[in-house]
Structure 1
Amino acid sequence: MGRRTPQRYRAVLTGAGGGIGSAIARRLAPQADALLLVGRQPAPLAALRAELGPQVQVVCGDLTAPTTLDAIEQAARAMGGVNLLVNNAGISQFHSFETQAPEAMRAMLDTNLLAPMLLTRRLLPLLHQAPAAQVVNIGSVFGLLGYPGFAAYGASKAGLKGFSQALRRELSDSAIEVRYFAPRATRTSINSSAVNAMNSALGTAEDSPEAVADAFADFLAGTAWQATMGRKESFFVMLNRLLPSLPDDAIRKQLAVIRQYLPK
């Protein structure tokens, strides 16, 4: 993988108040002339702004609300434009699909897929004004490798991967690159106690938010259009694409353990 010429960013980062988001914010801040942090909770955003410096601005709101998109667009214009959009905000629910509430499914699709699409559309005019710009969508290994208990969540992240690839090709004659970065299991509050217990029982490898931010920074500095964290996970994603019956069998052997923790 090649390396990019280092550049200064005017960046928008969603989901900045969470574990991965705040870790990415700390990695981006030294490289940013302007950094707009977006999240739903004011306290962590205010703390990050105080920690990271005067180049940091915040927008607090729900990304599924048009008023929040308005506020982000206005703030991005006020800070002089954007050359990096990181769509990181996301929600998850580990649950049996047969009994999962339709409202929970809609919330995941709205937050994890539709909101990044609509925000990207809002900011494309500003991104086009930059000499070079990137949109980086933060997905999940579960968007590349379907897993029990995460049917709706995996669908939202798989949709984000498809959106990223299609838009990347649509904008391939422009100065905007669209990229997809997929973490594996990460130790953040997005995981329920059931997920944590299942991961422990299965011996699932987990990363810290700081490790994800380090890998993201390396990805951002490189030229690959997509990346998946974890050698084992990357191997299974490749098998899932080429020989899906092998991951089918491997995951089927885990079902008895998964069902012990799967909310009904």
Structure 2
Amino acid sequence: MKQKILFILLTSLFTQLYSQVNTIDFQLSLGPTLSVPKTSELTNSNVSGSPEIKSSINIGVFILPSINYFISEKSSIDFGVGYYLDRFSIEDKIGYVTHKGNRNIHQIQTPINFNFHFGNDKSYQFGIGAFAIFTVAAKEKGDSNVDSSRIDFIDPSDPLVYNNISIGYEKDIKDNYNSVSFGTYLQLKKSISFSASKKGFILLKINQYINAIKNNDTDSDLSQYVEFKNEKEPMTVNLGVGLIL
């Protein structure tokens, strides 16, 4: 009798585990990450000339292994841990100096979101979620252009003066970013079939960073002139293709 009860219990347990496994998809997605242009006016500064930071579109890359857990036919949860390289083209104007370069921000991200399934065959998923960011490295490389004609103590008629002096620079800017920060995003997925046995998806995701940039970088040489809290938080767009494993 005890053996029958034990057999029934084990059968029920394995049946339940098997049904749960069938509600989980292991996924791998990758693609480009595109930065969204923004202009930050550094109003809280002692530098004349309307200091500002402009970002323009640049292309990075991401790769994200994740799990898609089906709650019901119309809803699911995504969770993953992935690598993201966000790249931003930057034009940073401070006084008579303009820095033009590229920022490369290497991160580990842990996104999680809730999906609503819709469409005739439920092949579309609209997701709302959030992610934690762990900054691994951040570097900026470019040229500093000095407009010497705006420097009062230099005679612009001096033949030794060049109105546009360009100096290359490369610096580690990891300290400008919080080591751990957060963000929110919207995501749209469309299921597709690569073959009779291989299924996948394409996705579009819009990410808004929160508290990624340090508000007050008191260790910076520029902290006496510019309060970095006026730089807007970045936004990126991910375009990707994924495979259901």
| TM-score range relative to shorter protein | under 0.3
More strand by share: 2
Question: Which has more radius of gyration?
Answer: 2
TM-score (normalised: structure 2): 0.23
TM-score (normalised: structure 1): 0.22
More helix by share: 1
